[in-house]
Structure 1
């Protein structure tokens, strides 16, 4: 009798039954692990993922005019955009302004339209006061007589775009572009650009800080990785201690040290190295010093974690075969640490992209980073749509740089790993 038939006849478990039991146990363990992690997942979704998603959604939302004046928005959506609308749409405008004023939404509508054209708020407020006090036989000639701008096709095209949702206007404005009356996308001149220059400045500052952290952090990481364990642990405290200090406190300390009458300028002038105070604050120099000091530990720890796993046997073998110590270090040791270099550079670069406090305190008028402009739109201008668009581009840049760093590190691992 075959073994399988004998096992089935005798009631003993087969290999298939054992495999099914094992898979069932694994599924049970996976469900238990998921249940244990569920509170953390819910917390991250509600406090981190959801706010980011809502802010990014603001970059294409355009709810102010459609929510406050729905009938006018539907009529403008059906309008072909040629010339000036007819009496029906003018009447809907008057009714919509009156209803928005009564419901308290007129200020929201006026602020939204003022983002596109600064004079539009005064136009709407003046028109709303007029339609509240009188009801003419025909609204079109009455509103045109009130303000000649209602007879301009550009005014109605702008109102039509403000009544459409979703809209690309915020995404275009975030790169200093807009839709022309002819329907084309036009960029402002480079000398009048605000956000494109801010993006380029942010990338340049982040790249400079990353390079400085790499130059300063690589020797420190090598020293920590090659010292005896006792000495290495003691020196590691100097790398970790800054994490226990508030970022605002560290930046404020540099604010005091870098002043014209601060400690650094006082030491330089006392040693005769400078005849007058050096400009170390409210410029790019202050920003680079402050950000490098804050982000340097991230670079050191990322490279150190890889260096601890690099065996010194390879370098000694190269030297025993006649290689110069410098050549062995450059061609044997450094390639093995490139994954740590790539991880450290990516970490520092991405953190620097979104920095706000240090550039705001130590930088000047020409050192505004994109995070400062996002804060300006959310706190002062209350333009959440433009803030969401700037944030969306920042997320896109981060994803692009992650892909580039990942490709570089992956190639290096294949070549030297």
Structure 2
């Protein structure tokens, strides 16, 4: 087992762990502003700090600008990008200040910085610098919960224009739940049909269920785009049959997203339920029928309870995978149909904000852990009742 465990550790656990650590790491600001952070130690955050912090900021920016010129690394730009995530305006304020204070000047550092930008006279930018002191911080974790620390360090709600991630989390859970319910509504009768079909028909029915696995997920999603677009097959058929006067908006909405997700996830619901039904002792339902129970009562009291392990496994598989969907909502949905994975990709590739991408990944991982924990408790409670 050792080679397999080492392989999984090297190519799976360690890379994911290193990525998730970016959610709490602060590697950009401390190397650029070490004197400033030391000067802010003990600052109460109620007003702008004293002259020592201004002088330390000038020294740090001069040293960082010299290193940037010598090495071409862009330390000031990286620090400004990180601080801009906390307080918009830092992306231009910090580089401008670094350029203006590089030449020697007369007078105090506080006077010079206030002449450059009046923002330095408020506690807001200084508080953002202190929050990035590292080596670890909760900035990104609070941000994905729509929370934020103020200049005094107290945690409060983020401004309304920045409070978006709770809504995205509930949207992700809601879409995942709808996809799971739709797969269950379609998958259980289909699994029942396969389990009760003649032996010769079972391989063909299973092949029909497994057929989507033979095609790439992107190809299947793109096929729905062709079918549902305004000039697509579905709209053309509806208009040819004179069922609609014009093309319907079938694409770029929540319905198209759910349709594509159910098409992809349905086999993961059917197969566990089918396995559970195949293991069912069919003499029990027949005995209930022979004793006078109606077919519906027999199903509710005998067949359904005995197939619940398969139902639970199928719902868990479908729901967890639905939470991680990225391609299908991106191609079939609109702006209000995107889920957490879309924003993970957005922060990782477009804004290159690895901290926010890792924090959103942790949020999604926590949601999955909660779902698995609830499932485990329900399964354990069910076994206790059975015992």
**TM-score (norm: length of structure 2):** 0.93
RMSD: 1.8
Match of 2:274 among 298, 301, 304: 304
- The answer as to 2:50 corresponding to 1:86 is yes
- Further displaced range: 41-50 or 397-406: 41-50
Q: What is the CA–CA distance in structure 2 between the aligned matches of 1:391 and 1:102, rounded to whole Å?
A: 36
Unaligned runs of 5+ in 2: 68-73
| Alpha-carbon distance, 1:216 to partner | 0.4
CA contact (8 A) 2:24 2:138 kept: yes
Q: Which residue of 2 aligns with 1:27?
A: none
* 1:72 maps to which of 33, 36, 53: 36
2:342 is aligned with 1:372: yes
Kept in 1, the 8 Å contact 2:45–2:151? The answer is no
Q: What SS does the corresponding residue of 2:148 show, helix, strand or coil?
A: strand
* TM-score calculated relative to the size of structure 1: 0.87
Aligned partner (choices 313, 323, 337) of residue 353 of structure 1: 323
Of Structure 1 and Structure 2, the greater helix share is in 1
Give the alignment partner of residue 96 of structure 1, picking from 38, 56, 60. 60
Which residue of the other structure, out of 370, 377, 381, is the alignment partner of 1:407? 377
Work out whether residues 338 and 409 of structure 1, in 8 Å CA contact, stay in contact via their aligned partners in 2: no
User: Within 2, Cα distance between the matches of 1:157 and 1:225?
Assistant: 64
Unmatched runs of 5 consecutive residues or more in structure 1: 1-33
Distance apart, 1:383 and its partner CA: 1.2
Post-superposition offset of 1:413? 4.2
2:194 to 224, 230, 239: 224
Question: Are the counterparts in 2 of residues 239 and 297 from structure 1 also a CA contact under 8 Å?
Answer: yes
Once the two structures are superposed, residues 89-142 of structure 1 have per-residue CA deviations (whole angstroms, 9 ceiling, x without a partner) of 222211211222233311100100111122112111111111212243532222
Q: Take 1:173 and 1:167, find their aligned partners in 2: how far apart are those partners?
A: 11
**Structure 1 residues 190, 131: closer, same or farther in 2, change over 3 A?**
closer
More divergent stretch after superposition (132-141 vs 228-237): 132-141
The whole-number CA distance in structure 2 between the counterparts of 1:207 and 1:188 is 28
Deviates more, 1:278-287 or 1:233-242: 233-242
Distance 1:208 1:191, change over 3 A: farther
Question: Residues 128-147 of structure 1 correspond to what in structure 2 (within 5 A)?
Answer: 128-147=98-117
Runs of at least 4 residues off by over 6 Å: 189-192
The Cα shift of 1:78 comes to 4.0
Counting matched residue pairs gives 381
